[in-house]
Amino acid sequence: MNRLRLCLALICLFAPATAPGGAWPRGEGLGFASVTTRITDGTLPTAPRVRHSVYLAYGLTERIGLTVEVDLAGGRVPKALGLYTLSLLPRDHPWKLSLALGGGTLNGTPAISPRFTLGRGFTVFGTAGWAEAALAGEFTRAAGGQAGKLDLTLGLSPTPRLRSYVQVFAYQSFAGPRFIRAETSLAYRVHRRVWFDVGVSTGITPVRDHRLKLGVWTAF
């Protein structure tokens, strides 16, 4: 619990402005892509040391979009999902609320994933920021193949070229332990539409491993 309190405190202290989060609609004809690599410290010898993820989002209309998420680790594809997203509030509303429904595979098994995401931008001491909560379910036909996820994000954008943000990830499978980890990241814009993203994360429970994150974002 002490580590969890520390991570939540860091969120309040360090947290990038409107992020590439699911609550914010892209807008018609606008897209976003990111490629991320995470390198573990080897705490779990049997787990892959390097994990890659690809995220693509594209706006079909002002409030409807498509998202693709793919994870790769140890020569396998643990996740490959395509999602249809719907923003439930007007684009200029201060709150951002979206629903998504997707399908694909999780660990090689056909799966569906419904999602609910809530976010809001804010300004604190003249600095723009955002907060977002994403609740997701994962359902497969495998034994114990049902799980719930909660991702919390809080960030600040101290300058137009710099974003710092902290995230807490919680995952609970139907028949397994609850996993919680926290990650703090710093993103820097190197081009009008390109950002470099660097971060570190720590497992809180049940595994206390550490990971280095290296990523690239782009908008199109």
Give the pLDDT score at 2: 47
Give the pLDDT score at 21: 66
CB 113 within 8 Å of CB 140: no
Give the pLDDT score at 18: 41
Give ∠ CA 39-14-3 in degrees, rounded to 5: 65
CB 194 within 8 Å of CB 217: yes
Average pLDDT, the chain: 89
The per-residue pLDDT for range 42-73, each reduced to its tens digit, is: 888 888 999 999 999 999 999 999 999 999 99
Say which amino acid occupies 131. Answer: A
pTM: 0.87
Give the pLDDT score at 44: 85
Q: What gap in Å lies between CA 71 and CA 167, rounded to an integer?
A: 18
Q: What is the mean pLDDT of residues 96-113?
A: 96
Residue boundaries of the structural domains of the chain: 2-219
- % of the chain residues with pLDDT over 90: 77
Q: What gap in Å lies between CA 149 and CA 169, rounded to an integer?
A: 7
Give the pLDDT score at 20: 55
- Which superfamily is assigned to 2-219 in CATH? monomeric porin ompg (2.40.160.40)
Q: What is the mean pLDDT of residues 151-155?
A: 96
DSSP string for residues in 75-121: TEEEEEEEEEEEE-S-TT-SEEEEEEEEEEEETTEEEEEEEEEEEEE
